[in-house]
Amino acid sequence: MGKPKVVLGVSGGIAAYKACELLRLLTESGHEVRVVPTAASLNFVGEATWAALSGNPASTEVWETVHEVPHVRIGQSADLVVVAPATADMLAKAAHGLADDLLTNTLLTARCPVVFAPAMHTEMWEHPATQENVATLRRRGALVIEPAVGRLTGKDTGKGRLPDPAEIYEVCRRVLARGVGEQDLAGRHVVISAGGTREPLDPVRFLGNRSSGKQGYALARTAVARGARVTLVAANTALADPAGADVVRVGTAVQLREAVLEAAADADVVVMAAAVADFRPAEYAGGKIKKKDGQDPAPVALVRNPDVLAEISADRARDGQVVVGFAAETDDVLANGRAKLLRKGCDLLVVNEVGEARTFGSEENEAVILASEGSEIQVPYGPKETLAEAIWDQVAVRLQP
């Protein structure tokens, strides 16, 4: 089999320079990339850069090499088209089927998955015209990644930034692996908690745990690639924001509960992948706790934290909401998992065995997905992404039409 063929469409926004890195990631991982820039985008990055980095000509118009019928051939032979950045103008043209240059012609002839990574000012993104165009494109099966929140071209900040190129690359990779017509989470809102909570003792110390957040982030990435709107409630993680996810940062279990409940109000799915502290110090010392010569330290009194998973499962914000929990166990893994599934009242419980060198912080995971109706799916040791996909497969069959 030849290399997967990717068309990288670049439209005229300042974020065009970030597409150079996306191109590099695609070519270095074995994709044959044809860059199709719009004429406006050449104001930001020139044709020579695209040709040199891709090893292919980069034309903007349909009038070059006409004998090769490029306006039809490039789209027809692509395995994936990704437009990054996609400007408001490009989204409008794509939504209305205009075809006045090579990229818009390519979008009309492509029968493969199409990913748009919009980047523009917040006002343009939020304009009803843009939002309707995005909705049209999504309805037709395109994957339009939500822009990131952050610094924009000028001094302003807001929603509209192009996500990190490495994260756009991850979306492309997932979409290429799954193929067209596989966006089984399209139109669904999924809420994922990730990371580990920290319960402060004093201004410099906390009770925490070893969760890195990688499994929750893998769930977020894969859900975006399957078409979901994703809210990621991240507790103390140090990972890059997944492209397309709305990231809400929290510290403690109480903050996590608040953020998850708020996002869950209109969610189709809630996945509690975070390691939530069961206890917190009964008292918070406003100043640093000092040692005193000749005295033993005072014991730390703890109080219970709310159980977010049990609460969400018992009191579903929506009919048919699917709730997924995780269980980290060191002994009697399956028996403890079954008991926990019953106790928490969720639909699925992902049970993994943990130990010093297993699961926490690693790139790989192994688990059993227990379902409330009794089924048991074994997911062999492998990338956290593979486990994430297996979880979404189980969620997707439980979602109401």
Query: Contact with ligand CTP (CB under 6 A): which of 47, 61, 164, 278?
Result: 278
Nearer to ligand CTP, 248 or 274 (CB): 274
How far is residue 370 from each of residues 64, 120, 342, 388, measured CA to CA in Å?
A: 57, 43, 11, 14
Measure the CA–CA gap between 182 and 226, rounded to whole angstroms.
Answer: 7
How far is residue 340 from each of residues 14, 35, 345, measured CA to CA in Å?
A: 51, 51, 8
| Three-state SS sequence of 244-259 | CEEEEEECCHHHHHHH
Helices (H), 127-208: 128-139, 165-178
Phi, psi of 326 (to 5 degrees): -120, 155
Question: Any idea which residues carry the catalytic annotation?
Answer: 209
Phi, psi of 144 (to 5 degrees): -105, 115
Nearer to ligand CTP, 267 or 308 (CB): 308
Site string for ligand CTP, 192-221 (x = CB under 6 A): ------------------------------
Nearer to ligand CTP, 62 or 253 (CB): 253
Gyration radius of the chain's alpha carbons: 24
What part of residues 317-376 is at the interface with ligand CTP (CB under 6 A)? 325-328
Tell me, by CB under 6 A, how many residues bind ligand CTP.
13
Q: Which span sits near ligand CTP by CB under 6 A: 35-43, 237-245, 269-277, 363-371?
A: 269-277
Contacts of 308 (CB under 8 A, 6+ apart): 193, 253, 256, 257, 260, 261, 272, 276
Query: Smallest gap, in angstroms, from Cβ of residue 324 to ligand CTP?
Result: 8
Please give the full DSSP string across 191-237, using - where no structure is assigned.
Answer: EEEEEB--EEEETTEEE-----SHHHHHHHHHHHHTT-EEEEEEES-
- Pairing mode, strands 245-250 and 279-281: unpaired
Q: Which span sits near ligand CTP by CB under 6 A: 29-37, 152-160, 214-222, 271-279?
A: 271-279
What part of residues 280-319 is at the interface with ligand CTP (CB under 6 A)? 305, 307-309
Query: Smallest gap, in angstroms, from Cβ of residue 217 to ligand CTP?
Result: 15
Query: Binding of ligand CTP at residue 232 (CB under 6 A)?
Result: no
What part of residues 233-262 is at the interface with ligand CTP (CB under 6 A)? 253
Measure the CA–CA gap between 114 and 98, rounded to whole angstroms.
Answer: 16
Query: Smallest gap, in angstroms, from Cβ of residue 185 to ligand CTP?
Result: 20
Question: Closest Cα partner for 237 from 268, 271, 209, 265?
Answer: 209
Nearer to ligand CTP, 253 or 379 (CB): 253
Query: Smallest gap, in angstroms, from Cβ of residue 350 to ligand CTP?
Result: 8
Nearer to ligand CTP, 148 or 328 (CB): 328
Query: Smallest gap, in angstroms, from Cβ of residue 193 to ligand CTP?
Result: 6
Nearer to ligand CTP, 87 or 211 (CB): 211
Measure the CA–CA gap between 275 and 278, rounded to whole angstroms.
Answer: 9
Measure the CA–CA gap between 364 and 381, rounded to whole angstroms.
Answer: 7
Q: Which span sits near ligand CTP by CB under 6 A: 212-220, 234-242, 244-252, 272-280?
A: 272-280
Query: Contact with ligand CTP (CB under 6 A): which of 81, 274, 348, 369?
Result: 274
Question: Closest Cα partner for 73 from 36, 47, 40?
Answer: 36
Nearer to ligand CTP, 138 or 214 (CB): 214
Residues in contact with ligand CTP by the rule CB under 6 A:
253, 272, 274, 276, 278, 305, 307-309, 325-328
